[in-house]
Structure 1
Amino acid sequence: MKKVFLVAGARPNLMKVAPVFRASRRWDSIECDIVYTGQHYDREMSQVFFEDLDIPEPRFNMGKSTGTHAEQTGAIMVAFEKICMEHKPDLVVVVGDVNSTLACSITARKLHIPVAHVEAGLRSGDLDMPEEINRIVTDSISNLYFTTEEHGRTNLIAEGKDPGLVFDVGNVMIDNLFHNVNRLGDEVTRDYRSRPLKEKLGSYAFMTMHRPSNVDNEEILSGIVKALNTIAEKLPIVFPIHPRTAKMLEEFGIKLSDNIHTLPPLAFRESLYLWKDARVVITDSGGLQEETTALGVRCVTVRENTERPCTIELGTNVLAGVSGERVLEEVEKALQIQDEPAPEIPGWDGKAAERIWDRLAKFLKA
């Protein structure tokens, strides 16, 4: 029996891990356990959250979520080393680009445990982003690379990786999206606290924003909110608000329009229930750029760069930068575009996790 650890360090990571875990059930010769490092832990994570993703609660929950980047990374490394030394996994699979991705990759390799990186090769070109550093370092020491789109392979080959270790499997976030969009029947959504609001508004924009580069800078945040308030005069905005964003709005004394309807952070499926029918999504999230493309929903990304260029080249996403004027301009443009069928991105077919396991099983000789 081969033993595999799937590492998740934040709620978006669990959404990426979920389809990989579900697909592992096909392999009787592999024991697969989820390790949750506790990065970005919040009290909204309950059994319902894991039921939404159709996965069990993590077998290992480390609870290492506080402190600076260095403190957090160091604490995760110490805790993960103890788990690895006790349980001796044959392979560690990391996803995405959070601190736990970096910490657990380094720890595993120093214990001579192979590492596979899901979402390998994504690059924004911005080394001021902590996530970019995490991506580069993780890819520099991984044994297997699973890419979501052709730019990932191109970046990895340019950095000197062995092409035979790079596998273009598709996007596990899209696996999770398709798995859940088909589970949004009335029996599920009738108890959503957001359902009365959605039915009342009918037509709306959907908004998420949490990146420190946007919300910790008073001038940038003020400009973005000014644009949002203008948009809300014509089209109401539904805004599940991140605790960090709420804190900074209060600290800076920045007021949202009454037509911006704030909600607490939502579980994945309830968030999907809202944004899939929005006229436009405004976000600084990486995952939402991909998910909106997969469903053909217009997306305006409030960032200067993206590590997911195919969402712009082939998809429904546009980069607006962080200027409030540009955000307003791009949202107005997006609202003028007629609905079109969702674009087809190679490998974004809901079967990426199955392709990952085909490769992992061969690697493990399981």
Structure 2
Amino acid sequence: MNVHAAVDLKWPGLARPNGDPLRLNNQDFVAIDRDRDVKYEATYRPQALYNRANEGFRANNETFLLHEVATNLPIYREDTGPTDFHLHLPPGGFQLVLVTSGMFTFDYDGRVYSVGPGAVMLQSAIVHRQLFYTWSGLSTEENLKTPQTVVPDPISMGYSGKFLEAFVTDPTTFPNPTVVAQDQINEAETPRIAWTHSLHDRPPDAGFWLQDPLALDALFKPLAEGLIKSATPVYVRDLGIEVPSGHLVTGHIIATDPRGQSLLPKSTSAAVDAAAFAKGEVVIYRVIRGTAEFKDNAGKTFELAAGDVVTAGKNSTSLVGLSENTQVLRLGLLKSMEKLRSWTPTQRDEIDGLAGKIITQKDIRPLRTEGKPVGYLYA
């Protein structure tokens, strides 16, 4: 978490971000982050190595950051282990997680979720922590090369935990207050308690979202033939994040099976067409495995491999081809994102300086699995 000097709380200035408005890049642009050029850095915690799509982030006016988080150390060390209770306050309260290998246990608002490859979580400024993650024991070099997937299988679950994570703006420029320090957690009590607070910038219909990769709404549907060239059928999974994100972002996975295998969990419903996942003033594609071919609006084609990311204007590029056993994440950034404002440095420091004082109300539930979540930061 960020560490800033504690300062006095000034409520009028903290009710909403009052910095510069966010602006998507509405021009014709294509920015590519190649996996071969990335740097993995332990930005926040020693066990988590971050691989940022910096080229796309800069080209899109630094409004949206996509990065990969790779677990690289065992959980039992003194300097690793569970995180403190904390919350992210990006503009829009937006944080997206897509698990791509290994297993994790997260605590959101006192509810515990054990998730593996393909699980999607979207949370809007909820008090949470990471309780558990898997570590394979491989060297850093070998660990970073282990394959990623959105389909749960015993092999991928045995790898070190990895996930793709996305924020509106950079998490180093908005408040990330630690609510309860790890050594202050009372395991018998804390999971039954959630908090409310007025510091929030969440769209009216945004909230928590969890999509299990084997749930009915997560099944892959066949894409109409001829829209994307491939030697094997192409399928699309809707991540379902548009509404719970507050209509800030859409998300889909476009994928093919390995040749001769049926790997993707599928629906028997009618085929979908490209319009089903065409939204976005700015679009981001991240290749999770395999290779994908793209074409810009000048007709030039380029190929991306696993770990590569392309960020582009609305009509600046299109996905035209997939190899077998390929999985591609597509995110569409919507116009409503420009209704948000950034936190000013002063606001950020004030909120981070609050630390545990940000808890102003305790709501007790009989059991942590009962009742509506109450850990949002309600306006």
Same fold (TM over 0.5): no
Which is bigger in relative contact order (C-alpha 8 A, separation at least 6)?
2
Query: Which structure is higher in helix share?
Result: 1
- TM-score scaled by length of structure 1: 0.28
Could you say which structure has the higher strand fraction? 2
Scaled by the length of structure 2, the TM-score of the pair is 0.27
